Every structure is written in structure tokens, then in C-alpha cells.
Structure 1
Amino acid sequence: MSQPAAHQVPFRTVIVNAREIKQRDSARAEHFLAGHHPHGPAAFRNCNAMKGRKHHHSGGSSSAPGGSSSPPDPTTTVNVTDAAVTYLATLAVGSPATNYDLLIDTGSSNTWISAVDKRYNATSTSKDTRKKFQISYGSGSCSGTEYTDQVALGPKLVIKDQAIGVADQAADMNGMDGILGIGPVDLTQGTMADSQGGIPTVTDNLLKQHCIPTEAIGIFYQPTTTADASGGSLSFGGPDHTKYTGEINYVPITKQSPASHYWGIEQSISYGDKEIMAMASGIADTGTTLLMVPTEVFKAYQKETGAVLDQSTNLLTVTEEQYKMMKSMFFNIGGVKYELTKNAQLFPRSMNETIGAPNGKICLIFADMGNINVGDGLCFINGYTFLQRFYSVYDVSNERVGFATTEFTMATTN
């Protein structure tokens, strides 16, 4: 039987300078570590256990009343655009629609747009709930009014009456129009005033309205080459089998808290054949740019590469001679080793001027997450620079994360 074609959604990225990247990622890491407003399968699972059922989707079951329903479409993919530090997807809101470019965030569940720089135009499909919302991300925050409206990620991904926040205040969003949160519904609790339940998410409603067959998202990135490259896609309803090579290897969400509250996995890291981080828990997160590790691991990596911290960017840098001597790194996830080549460990040199790095500098993507013990429960973040080299799947229905190689895993574009 042939695999279904995936529904594709395009996205693009936003550029900020390197010091801001590091500051934002560090603030986001602190937010995760503090356990504020957890988003992910663990909290989802806990809520389901309390309700006495395995999976919960807002608005009832995925079937129509009486048990009869038309079968959902196969997975759908949308293209996305790379802006060097994160990816954005275009969300069409209203009818007639206004397009908003939203950060794709596996670390949060609310979807909202900013009315600060781009006015929200109420149309015939808009409804003001007259309820206020407020969200903090550690590296940014927003507040405003909750609406329901028609939204579309593509021709086959049109959602009626989707809850969206319309922010009249949004801090430190670096030019983005908002956030597309792709976590489960229960994790939106507490973000909207006078609301006891969760806010239905985009993926909840895609499933409920029979746009996708299961609540899973596949993410394909490719290494950055320019500030406005079109280089990725989201697959709603499952993986897009044209975007990866080999097999997808799945691992269950870690049970170690606080990583278990997000898309938490367990891994060890080796530099060449030398282990620099024992098996530990952390998360895969599209909203983080760099690959963040504890101070102990960061120093071990720095020693092995000979890298020094560049004061202008706050990133590790190596000389051309040191780069020639660098080795691949290996991330052991679920018994499978994922190779991060020496080229993949570099921030794209073509982007130096854009991020404020001196010409000729070779910057590395590893960042110090702080003095965290390897056994503390969240001691690494595999951010966007790691995820560019692998296909990843975030499967809410089966409480697991999957990884596979792509045609760009071994690319030398940096």
C-alpha cells in the first residue's frame, strides 16, 4: 500500500543578532527549567489520566455525533521559509484573509497574532469572545483579547472557529507576527481569563474537523544559506515520507521532570569517540535556536575543539585550522546514533554579517545552559540548529518523538 501524501505548510525565518539569540535562548531555557506553564505530552497525559481516558481532544471526539463521520484526509504538508534563527509559517486569518507569519513553537500551545505592527481586521468569520489572555515565554510575552476566526495553513488545512489571541501588547518578539503553538489543548489552561478549560489548539481542531487522521506533526528543516531561503515544511497528521531518508526512530517521552512536561527525550553526546555527556533528559524545541548544554558539557566541548568565546557574539568560535581538526558529534537517542558533522556544528558563515559576527569568524552553535547537573531532569535543548539536520516527528496521539536523517544531514553548506 502506498504511503499517503503529506499536507504541506510553508514557513520562513526571522533574523536577530547573535547576542540576542543567546540571550533569548537562555531566557527560554530558564523558563523551561522553572516549570512555568508546561506544554507537552506529560501534562497532557496527566490531564487524560484524571479524566479517565487515554487521549483528550477539545470539543469531544474526532467522530461526528452518533459515531458516523467521513474519514479524515491523509497527512498534509505546507512549506516554510528559513530566516536563519527560527522558522515561520504563514497563517491566513479571516475571510477575506490577512496573512500572519508565526513562529512554529513545539514548546507552547497557544496560537496568537500581534495587532501591534499588523492590524487585525475583523471579518464575517470573526467573533470577539471578550475574554483577555496573557502568556509569558521567558524570552517574550503577550496579552490581548481572545477571538475565534477561520484560519488556514493551506487549501486542505482550513479550520473554522479557531481560537486565536489578538495581542495588543507583545514584548521581544523580534519582528514576528505571533506564535503557532502546536502543543495539546490541556496545556493552554490558565492563559485566558474567566476560563476553566483549555483553549482548543490548531491541531485539536484539524483532527476534530477531519482535516488530519491523527494528532502528529512532522517537521523538515534544511541548513540555512540565506536570510530568506524557503527551506522547510510542516506535515500535519503524520510524517511526510518524501522528506526523510531511512527509517524514523521513535522514542517515548521521557519520564524525567521537567523535561517530561515538554517534548522530552533522553540522549548521550559524544565528541568523536569520547563521551562528553552521559545519558540524560532534555527536550527538542523548535523555538530555541542554539544547541544548549550544561556548563560541564560546554567546557568539555570547548576543550576538545579549542574554541574561545567571542565577546561580540557571545558564541564559541574556532580558527580555520581548528575547524579542519574538528570531529563529528554523535547523539545517542533510543539506541540510535545521530551524527552531527563538524560542518553542522557551525553557524552558517554566510550569515555572519546578518547576526553581527565579524567577517571570517567561524561561530559554533553550542551554548552554555548553566550549572545544571546531568541528572537534574532537563539539561539540554536540541534547538533549531540541531533540528535542521534531521527530520523530527511530534506525536501527541502516541506520546512519542521521532527522528530520521534527511538529504541534508551530511551537507557542507555552513
Structure 2
Amino acid sequence: MVKLIPSIILLVSSTCAIAAAAPHTLTLHRQAKGSYKDMAASEGNRWAKKATSGVHTPAINDFFKYNIEVSIGHPPQASYPIFDTGSPYLWVSDQVYDVPKSASARSLNSSITLAYGAGNVTIDLYNDTISLGKDLIIKQELGVASNLTALQIQTEGVIGFAPEAMALAYTNQFSYIPTPMHNLIASHKIGKYLFAVDFRPLRNTTVNVANGQIDIGELDRSKYTGDVIYSPISKKSPFKYFWSTDVPKIKFGGKTMVSDLSAVLDTGSPLILATWKILQEIFSDIEGLGTDGRVMTVPKSQVHKLKDVTFELAGGSITYKTEQYLVPSFLEPDFGPTNGTQYTFFGVFGEFGLPLILGEPLMEHYYTIFDGVNKRVGFATRK
């Protein structure tokens, strides 16, 4: 889920001298809840849920969002905020975190309003102890929301993993709020500003099964093969404030269709989001291209003409195969009647000056790396 940026900010990368020998690994599972189409219609908020059991921390993907289990306060209260690389803050609903019940909670006597593509949320700021696992316990600034109806999504909150730069976006309004990754590094819980996601696409409607992991602090080299395709964070505005990459070319098959773009990597998006103009240019060889609200559709008669979509980056190229971006038949009932069309995981998006967002459906086919030390993102072929 991409958060709006109201002011000019600087990109900051935090590192620590301590080197972690192994990543803190979060195991992902699926759990069906909600509607994919509804999620996409509200800008797409697909998240990641992780629970607390040491270095092997289970996470639940409730079909269209991944949430992380975060224990807050003393005694601990469990919450499941959305894992989001498109925003920097931690905040939860007052329905899951009762401040007066925590002996370690401290009010910061301040409140702020955050803007998301799905709506705005106002949070009251506190400081308390949070736990992401027995080895990841820190003091953390966090927000508490009392009314989430404006977001139009089913969520207990958000835990942001965006670059620290985005946390500076509101410094003209209030003091800097450290991100969870900042505090993990400052507390020497991890040695590097580095994490990677190993999402797995649904193969059928079976849920509650292990299907991916998140690694924090180090990479798990057993999860990928070959070289990593690294690409520096874009220097263009506003992309330089996000996990992003320049995309010099987008190809349909082997033919260049679009040139000179930049893209945000957002685990909070359930689609590959682009402006309608860009989608029309990429798929200009397809007759009858259309949309159903947010989702791009293709006439069934044209499906045989579809080709792989390749994003060329600074360090190489990544390919989104045709069979990967077509919505599988078992998910079609969730999208709605087909009416002779084929749904895709491409969505129409034109807000916030971000013409291209590479969401989770693409990352599900790569081991995707977010490297704050070297200010770059990476893609590797999953084993």
C-alpha cells in the first residue's frame, strides 16, 4: 500500500557494525478471507502476517494480504498489522491494542493523519515494547487508530517496511518517528538494513498451507539460484523515497513497447498497477483490451495472442510470464462474471504521480531483495 508523501525528504540508510550470521526467517501461510476484487478496488492492499516464535516466525497470508503478528506492551497483546513496503510506520487498531492495559505504554501526546491510496487514518502516538519474535524485541513508536472505516479494508493495522526516508516525510509537522527497521538496527537485533521476501502464488483454493518466507537481516541463499539482478533505487522524484527501480524498457514478447519509466516495489499491492495509457501501450497488439473497475481484462478470443512481459532494469531483466499474469480459473469466481473476458493481475492506477507499481503478484515469482545498505533492490530466480 503506497503512502502519500507531503514534503521533500532525504533518503537515509542505517547500518550497524554487527554482522548477522543468519536471517530471521518468517514462514508464510495462506488463510482465505475477504475478496481479491474488493481489495483491488480499494487500491490493493495485499499484506503479510507474521507471528512470534523466535527466528522461525510463521506468517499468515489471509488470501490477499500478508500480516505480521506483533505483540505489543506488557503484558503482551497480539496484533496482526499488514506487512507493507510502501509505508514506514507501525500502527494498530484500538480493538487489538488496549493502551491502558499495558504497563509499559507511554503517550507521546501527539496525533497524525496518514494518507493511503485506500483512504486516510488518524492515529494517536505512543511508545511501547513490541515483539516480532523472541529475538526481535524493541521499544517502538507506534500509532493507535480508533476508526478504520475510511480505509475500506479489513485490517488490524500496518507495519511499514518502506525506506527510512519516507518516515521523514512528516518532519515538518512533528518530530521524526523511527521505523521498525531503524529500531531493530539501533537495538542491534539485526546487523543490516536488509530483508527479502519469498512469496508463493496460490496454486488452488487450499488455504492454511506454508507457501513462502520473509528473511530479515540477511539473505537465505538456499532460496535462490544464479546471480541476483540488482538495480539501484531510482534517483527520480518521488520514486527516490520508495523501494523503487528505473525501468528503461518494457517489452511485450521481444518487442519494446514502453521506455524510460520508474517503478515502486510494493508488497501492499495485489496487482501490477499502471496507468491505462501504459497498459494500452504494452498490450497494443491485443484487440478489445478493457477494465473491470481496477483490473485489466482481455477478450477470451485474444488470450492466445498474449506474450510474456519483460521489465528491463539496470542490472538485467525480469520477466512476468503470460501464465503468471492471467488470473487462474479457481480465482475467477472471486473477481466476478467473466462475460467472455479473461482477468489479469494488471490493474489500472493513475494516482500520486506513480505510473507503475510492481506489486506482490510479480514478487511471488522471484526472491525479492530490499537492500537499504546499498540502496538497491534485487531479484533472483527462486529455487
Question: TM-score, length-normalised on structure 2?
Answer: 0.80
In the alignment, does 2:267 pair up with 1:286? yes
Q: What is the Cα deviation at residue 296 of structure 1?
A: 3.0
What is the aligned counterpart of 2:278 among 297, 300, 305? 297
C-alpha distance 307-216 of structure 1, shift in aligned 2 (>3 A): farther
C-alpha distance 360-6 of structure 1, shift in aligned 2 (>3 A): farther
Question: Match for residue 183 of structure 2?
Answer: 205
What is the aligned counterpart of 2:221 among 241, 251, 258? 241
Distance in 2 (CA, whole Å) between partners of 1:360 and 1:91 is 44
C-alpha distance 219-207 of structure 1, shift in aligned 2 (>3 A): same
Determine if contact 2:280/2:289 at 8 Å carries over to the other structure.
no
Question: Match for residue 107 of structure 1?
Answer: 86
In the alignment, does 2:246 pair up with 1:266? yes
Q: What is the Cα deviation at residue 400 of structure 1?
A: 1.1
Distance in 2 (CA, whole Å) between partners of 1:282 and 1:81 is 27
- Secondary structure of the residue that 2:374 maps to in structure 1? coil
Question: Match for residue 5 of structure 1?
Answer: 22
Question: Match for residue 98 of structure 1?
Answer: 77
What is the aligned counterpart of 2:356 among 356, 365, 380? 380
Question: Match for residue 194 of structure 2?
Answer: 216
Q: What is the Cα deviation at residue 21 of structure 1?
A: 0.9
- Secondary structure of the residue that 1:364 maps to in structure 2? strand
In the alignment, does 2:43 pair up with 1:24? yes
What is the aligned counterpart of 1:135 among 114, 130, 135? 114
Determine if contact 1:10/1:90 at 8 Å carries over to the other structure.
no
Question: Match for residue 392 of structure 1?
Answer: 368
Q: What is the Cα deviation at residue 79 of structure 1?
A: 4.0
Number of equivalenced pairs: 349
Q: Structure 2 counterpart of 1:157, which letter?
A: L
C-alpha distance 393-175 of structure 1, shift in aligned 2 (>3 A): same
The alignment yields a C-alpha RMSD, in angstroms, of 3.0
Determine if contact 2:190/2:217 at 8 Å carries over to the other structure.
yes
Distance in 2 (CA, whole Å) between partners of 1:158 and 1:360 is 52
Determine if contact 2:68/2:81 at 8 Å carries over to the other structure.
yes
What is the aligned counterpart of 1:338 among 318, 331, 335? 318
Distance in 1 (CA, whole Å) between partners of 2:212 and 2:34 is 16
Q: What is the Cα deviation at residue 89 of structure 1?
A: 1.6
In the alignment, does 2:143 pair up with 1:165? yes
Unaligned runs of 5+ in 1: 28-74, 408-414
C-alpha distance 15-334 of structure 1, shift in aligned 2 (>3 A): farther
Q: Structure 2 counterpart of 1:340, which letter?
A: Y
Q: What is the Cα deviation at residue 213 of structure 1?
A: 0.8
Determine if contact 2:83/2:161 at 8 Å carries over to the other structure.
yes
- Secondary structure of the residue that 1:206 maps to in structure 2? helix
- Secondary structure of the residue that 2:369 maps to in structure 1? strand
Distance in 2 (CA, whole Å) between partners of 1:320 and 1:190 is 45
Distance in 2 (CA, whole Å) between partners of 1:282 and 1:242 is 28
Q: Structure 2 counterpart of 1:236, which letter?
A: I
Q: What is the Cα deviation at residue 370 of structure 1?
A: 4.1
Question: Match for residue 103 of structure 2?
Answer: 124
* Deviation sequence 1:231-268 (CA, Å, 0-9, x none): 33221113222322222222111111121121121112
Q: What is the Cα deviation at residue 381 of structure 1?
A: 0.9
Question: TM-score, length-normalised on structure 1?
Answer: 0.75
* Deviation sequence 1:171-193 (CA, Å, 0-9, x none): 22511110011134453346599
Determine if contact 1:82/1:229 at 8 Å carries over to the other structure.
no
